[in-house]
Amino acid sequence: MANDKPVHQIKLGRLRAAIWANETSAGRTNYNVTFSRLYKDGDDWKDSASFGRDDLLLLGKLADLAHTWILEQQSQQSAD
């Protein structure tokens, strides 16, 4: 069954990391991360996978936080 919602999201300003879980046939969970930048177009909020120069350091911090969250989940799974 495909997940239609991320298992966790991390937001820093207008940048967002969405963490997705995929169960393997061996019963292991693999995680993938997508990054997006929120912006307003008129009255509507939209997102983009394009990042400007000023987004890059924050994007790196966001990737670090997503990595830490995934490691914590895998550590808990190993302990169970």
pLDDT in tens, 18-46: 999 999 888 889 999 999 999 999 999 99
Other Cβ atoms closer than 10 A to 66: 21
Domain edges within the chain: 8-79
Residues listed for the chain: 80
| DSSP letter, residue 50 | -
Nearest to 11 by CA among 56, 62, 51: 62
pTM over 0.75: yes
pLDDT value of position 3: 61
| Alpha-helix runs per DSSP H in the chain | 56-79
CB contact at 8 A, 33 and 66 = yes
Q: Is the pLDDT of residue 1 over 90?
A: no
